[in-house]
Structure 1
Amino acid sequence: MRKHQTDKRIFIATFILVLIGTIMVSIIGPSYTNIQNIAYGRNDDPNQTFKSQILYVFLAFVTMIFFLRLPLKQVEGEGGKHKKILNMTSKLPEILMFGSLILCLIMYISSLTVELPFVRCALGACRWLNLGIFQLQAAELVKFGALFYFAKICTEYREKGGFSGKKEHMTSRGDGVLRNTKYSYQNKTRLADAKKQKGKVGELTSEIRDILTKTEGRVFWLKYFSTLGVAVFFLVVAQKDLGSALPLIAMALAMLLVSGARLKYFLIIGAAGMVLAVLALSSPHRQERLKGFLQGDSSNAYHINNALIAIGSGGLFGVGIGNNVQTAGYLPESITDSMFAVIGETIGFVGISVVLFFYYMLLSRILKVADCTKESYYQMITIGIFAWLAGHVVVNIAAMIGLVPLTGITLPLLSKGGTSLILNMAIIGLALNISQYTMRADLTDAERK
């Protein structure tokens, strides 16, 4: 597959969303900092929030460019002089996944015993690594590791015909397109069976094939369910972070769906989801949130009520810059979880429509890249990127308009944040990189390199 230009619409949508978010932080940041100073007796610079966001945006774009320029074919390993790179990176998904889980385990132990100097805890949960001038959220690292790990194991199992019994290339719509199976494991065994089907050797080969297939299946599902279960446990129970667990589950399910897994496995995941719901509701503060959402009690639904007031008061064109009322101490987490409501109040329905349009552009183009990607591993990664971002967008906006209880999940590219913004830009840079190797018939010769 010849390399061509990146999908420009992904970059344009990303740039505009980050720009809108940065502008909103510059507008709301001073009042947010002043409120924090009054509440906690601090004397921080009112512009500190905006300054830190500028630093995060700079680091995020640098990270995006790094992943955009990353030589995928070299990392993937095609032999030759890049063999050392392959040896170094072949276990990278496992290192990222299990390294982040070990980090979560250390932080969980810290919350139960003695708080470690490099761990920051708040409200009974240890979620952040304190790196001096920068704080790293462990949940984001878990999602980042899960993106590569689940993509790898789903690709390997699908390439062996584990999901459908034949080697396929599944598009993002889920319709299988048969690949050349001349050198596939299944085709080799079928040729062997055809030649030896009348003899004992053929029967033995068939039995061995069935045993290997069943063994590989058990190993795959053990890896899948155990890793997902441990990750969700650390996020929901240990770190009390249900919001981060939802996009993680969305990623894992999306990859499984595109791989062509059977319905019974989704039923198993559904049963596990019910267990997850019970664990989530075991926390008193989540019970209060759910009670406030269902009953509309003013004391328990304070956040949602003020978010709805902010969106409603914005009207068609908003109250204008500097005229916000809800952000003056009424709307909690105004520059993080509640950014969608802040945009609604400031620039109204028109502003919200613009934001939703660029989210649609971003997500639809990422899905298009997945649909046109030839390499199974890259396709899985792109599907995971889509599910990651879409999960954040849908859950956050649904909470702000009162459709679901609050989960504390941020709005990608718009909300203030360090780790989340940088990793969101990293996966978008990876999607841009993969878009250079898609099967696009609409490209002219001038667009190809």
Structure 2
Amino acid sequence: MTAVPAEDPEERRPAWREQTAAAIGLLDRPLTSYYLVLGTSVMLLALGLTMVLSASSVKQLQETGSAYALFQKQAMWMAIGLPGMWLASRLPVKTFRALAYPLLLLSIVALVLVLVPGLGRSAGGATRWISFGPLQLQPSEPAKLGLVLWGADLLARKERLGQLTEWRPLLMPLLPGAGLLVLLVMLGNDLGTTLVLLTIFLALLWVVGAPGRLFVGIIGLVGLLVSILILVEPYRMQRLTGFLDPAGDQLTTNYQGTQGLFAVASGGLFGTGLGEGRAKWDYLPHAETDFIFAIVGEELGLVGTLVVLGLFGVLAYAGLRIARRVKDPFTRLAAAGTTAWLVVQAVVNIGAVIRVLPITGIPLPLVSYGGSALIPTLIALGMMLAFAKREPGARQALAARGPGPVPRALSWLGLARR
């Protein structure tokens, strides 16, 4: 009899295992972070522009006669922000460090101007905007980027000088600087942005290895400040009591939260269809800004909401991957601070919509309507792209790719011609 050769175990490996191994292998490539940040940013932008049109069309048609009014404005902000993102992705790290102090100073001046009667504009119980005729600016949004850059530069300098071993040099002047920003935002009654600024501050301390007892003290202080902010403003107390008692008054205190939850629940698995939602027909306030995630849930269903969550999860992974792989202290700190800013803001926004967190009134990054939030976010993501190029082997990989972004992306996916 002829002997049958033994079958190689590698030949019996299922196809799905080979595909999984190939997908995991992509994560080890030098340009993984670069393409993950770029890809998630583009997809969230496209989704956001689509949902702004859908969420605002009915109200804008009633008020202006054009269903495309806010869509056109958002497209204009995007047309301004995308070149800023591209430019930031090509800047050297030293440029970001040079911009840190001027941006922080301009943010402080602008936040002071918000509090000047006649210049500041209030809405929803918070004074957040400066009015320049038809143009409105929300200074607290670029202040987030300013705090990231300034805090990262400050701590990187102290790390180089070996001054991070004791808590006093660690906190000075980072704590007073961050505290001034927080105070100015608090005076404008903007609790949501206050929490994001504090998140950036804590993320920077975490990356440099601040002792645990320092976090306990700071978190205790933050809890005290938040409690004071809630107690001094009746509308915040109403939001908190409404969150703690969701079965309470459904027509006043809990109206927005209830309508948002109804919108998400009515979407089912696949949603009612793009543009077919009912909540935007004067049922859900601020559907295109703070509660745009509810419109996503209603029109795109559970699948749409999971896609949004997945995209922010990928963005968080890419940001932390950059922070872990780069060697420059400033780059590591700025990448971690930016990631904490965007991801925590997304979590707070989504948590408010699905009623696991109180309503704070902050937008969903890249998705909600608003140029003051969109442009600094795009610049911050461009900065992340610049940082991703500094990962080990990234510059060499970029140089080895084709002359344009499409050939580079195809090569990274293994689809380009050999």
Fold conserved between structures, TM > 0.5? yes
1:394 is displaced (CA, Å) by 0.7
1:354 is displaced (CA, Å) by 1.4
Task: Give the alignment of 1:300-379 within 5 angstroms.
Answer: 300-379=253-332
Give 2:221's match in structure 1, choosing from 246, 250, 272. 272
1:305 is displaced (CA, Å) by 0.9
Inter-partner Cα distance in structure 2 for 1:365 and 1:344: 25
The residue matched to 1:127 in structure 2 has which SS? strand
1:158 is displaced (CA, Å) by 2.2
Inter-partner Cα distance in structure 1 for 2:184 and 2:42: 33
Inter-partner Cα distance in structure 1 for 2:402 and 2:216: 44
Size of the aligned set, in residue pairs, is 369
Provide structure 2 residue ranges, at least 5 long, that are not aligned to the other structure.
Answer: 1-29, 404-418
Q: Is residue 60 of structure 1 aligned with residue 81 of structure 2?
A: yes
Inter-partner Cα distance in structure 2 for 1:308 and 1:435: 38
Q: Give TM-score, length-normalised by structure 2.
A: 0.82
Inter-partner Cα distance in structure 1 for 2:395 and 2:266: 44
Q: What is aligned with 2:343? A: 390
Inter-partner Cα distance in structure 2 for 1:368 and 1:426: 19
Moved more, 412-421 or 219-228: 219-228
Inter-partner Cα distance in structure 2 for 1:311 and 1:139: 29
Q: What is aligned with 1:96? A: 103
Give 1:245's match in structure 2, choosing from 158, 179, 194. 194
1:319 is displaced (CA, Å) by 0.6
Q: Is residue 288 of structure 1 aligned with residue 238 of structure 2?
A: yes
Inter-partner Cα distance in structure 2 for 1:123 and 1:243: 12
Identity %: 30
Deviation digits for residues 350-375 of structure 1 (CA, Å, limit 9, x no counterpart): 11111122211222111111111111
1:66 is displaced (CA, Å) by 1.3
1:224 is displaced (CA, Å) by 2.0
Inter-partner Cα distance in structure 1 for 2:202 and 2:267: 37
1:94 is displaced (CA, Å) by 2.5
Inter-partner Cα distance in structure 2 for 1:440 and 1:367: 17
1:387 is displaced (CA, Å) by 0.5
Q: What is aligned with 1:446? A: 400
Residues 263 and 98 of structure 1: is their aligned pair in 2 closer, same or farther, counting only changes over 3 Å?
Answer: same
The residue matched to 1:275 in structure 2 has which SS? helix
Q: What is aligned with 1:141? A: 142
The residue matched to 1:437 in structure 2 has which SS? coil
Deviation digits for residues 216-259 of structure 1 (CA, Å, limit 9, x no counterpart): x53542312212222112112x1111111112111111110110
1:419 is displaced (CA, Å) by 1.1
Deviation digits for residues 151-197 of structure 1 (CA, Å, limit 9, x no counterpart): 11221222233334xxxxxxxxxxxxxxxxxxxxxxxxxxxxxxxxx
Does the aligned pair in 2 maintain the 1:5–1:436 contact within 8 Å?
no
Q: Is residue 15 of structure 1 aligned with residue 42 of structure 2?
A: yes
Q: What is aligned with 2:118? A: 115
Q: What is aligned with 2:159? A: 158
Which structure 1 residue ranges, 4+ long, deviate > 4 Å from structure 2?
3-6, 440-445
Q: What is aligned with 1:106? A: 113
Inter-partner Cα distance in structure 1 for 2:319 and 2:40: 11
The residue identity in structure 2 corresponding to 1:147 is V
Residues 304 and 4 of structure 1: is their aligned pair in 2 closer, same or farther, counting only changes over 3 Å?
Answer: closer
The residue matched to 1:7 in structure 2 has which SS? helix
The residue identity in structure 1 corresponding to 2:354 is I
The residue matched to 1:326 in structure 2 has which SS? coil
Deviation digits for residues 101-157 of structure 1 (CA, Å, limit 9, x no counterpart): 23212322x1xxx413xx434456432123445321011122121111111122122
Task: Give the alignment of 1:124-139 within 5 angstroms.
Answer: 125-132=126-133, 134-139=135-140
Inter-partner Cα distance in structure 2 for 1:8 and 1:284: 46
1:265 is displaced (CA, Å) by 1.4
The residue identity in structure 2 corresponding to 1:241 is D
Does the aligned pair in 2 maintain the 1:366–1:382 contact within 8 Å?
yes
Q: What is aligned with 2:171? A: 221
The residue matched to 2:128 in structure 1 has which SS? strand
Moved more, 433-442 or 20-29: 433-442
The residue identity in structure 2 corresponding to 1:49 is L
Inter-partner Cα distance in structure 2 for 1:384 and 1:254: 6
Does the aligned pair in 2 maintain the 1:24–1:343 contact within 8 Å?
yes
Superposed CA RMSD: 2.4
Provide structure 1 residue ranges, at least 5 long, that are not aligned to the other structure.
Answer: 38-42, 77-88, 165-213
